[in-house]
Chain A
């Protein structure tokens, strides 16, 4: 269970978000520039809130009152960025393996092949990110985040840089991810169609504030 209650001033814009999310996929939905990415950057520990509290499974990741601020590298929260951000100097295999390796965990061949199978990236393992298509890159980015064994997975408009055909190709993987990998997802999107397929729960964000939270039916309202 993730609880977020934060405030952050970004220039003239104030982000003031409060919501909770359980298992399944919670979608942060709202127009571009509403502050959705800011919110998940704060959950990941890449952006520091001015005030508030972020807690995951009872553990405070950030708490301005208690002066708690767990650094990003110790939060164990996977993050799939809009642009993939694969490491260009490492092969796909080493990109996938990075989180496990840097965390000092033993190799887990079963987990590795499960993720590779789930995302259908077996043929790409020895390639470099520079040689991948946009869709392939995003699938590898998901695999990389998944294989660090995150407690929570953040996806920031992971399909935004892809064309419609690619989106339709990748969406099923995200549905499988939600249903098969037992890790809660926070999925950022401004695309209602995408949200309908992915979301177990929707948090609507507009102009830096949570304007509504609830079931997927919220979208039609």
Chain B
């Protein structure tokens, strides 16, 4: 049943790569924004909050289109990055990772923000009296205590990236071997006569990957929580 063609295996590998890269690259930004939203009050905070959440409520096609006119090869930001840093997003797997990262960002930020908000700020005061400046305090107290939320956020982002379809296909199209992820490959197979059984194999693979990611993150989060409570 699980006989995939090399092209389908490529789609699976690409999906994993795109999801992993987008999650890892989004993480530092996610932690920074989540900390900012959880801990600081500043003018325009609700606007920042809304912009971060936007990809969650916009139709993915709209997000994809916005990416296209911002990060496309001839678009302002995309052109600048390509000319000065050699980073090209359009019709590349990197563009798929960018689209997935942006689509997954609100979920990641939300999970991390909640866990930072749940931290007892008095522990941070205690660390300050012991000589920890802001950076050390963040690294040794805030971050470890937020770890369960960070793991949950990464898991959500990874899952969201695996399932991303609309923004990715709009932004970087559906090129086998370059931007064709599992979702796009399944969609393509369902559009051709007799492709259903191959599509089913990919669907099973997608289910297995998602389940594995879920179990792994549950296990990690449980371990992290147990560590915090002294077991």
Contact = CB atoms under 8 A, between A and B. Distances in A.
B128 A72 contact: yes
A129 interface: yes
Contacts of A81: 122, 126
Interface in A72-91: 72-79, 81, 83, 85, 87-89
B123 A102 contact: no
Contact of A46 (B129, B136, B145): B129
B131 A99 contact: yes
A99 B130 contact: yes
Task: Give the size category of A's interface with B.
Answer: 20 to 34
A102 B230 contact: no
B129 A88 contact: no
Task: Give the size category of B's interface with A.
Answer: 20 to 34
A99 B129 CA distance: 9
Interface string B99-136: 00000000000000000000010110111111111001
B53 interface: no
Contact of B131 (A87, A89, A103): A103
A87 B123 contact: yes
Contact of A72 (B123, B129, B229): B129
B125 A87 contact: no
13 contacts: A46-B125, A46-B128, A71-B128, A73-B131, A81-B122, A87-B127, A88-B228, A98-B132, A102-B140, A128-B230, A129-B230, A131-B230, A144-B130
Interface of B: 120, 122-123, 125-133, 136-137, 140-141, 144-145, 227-231
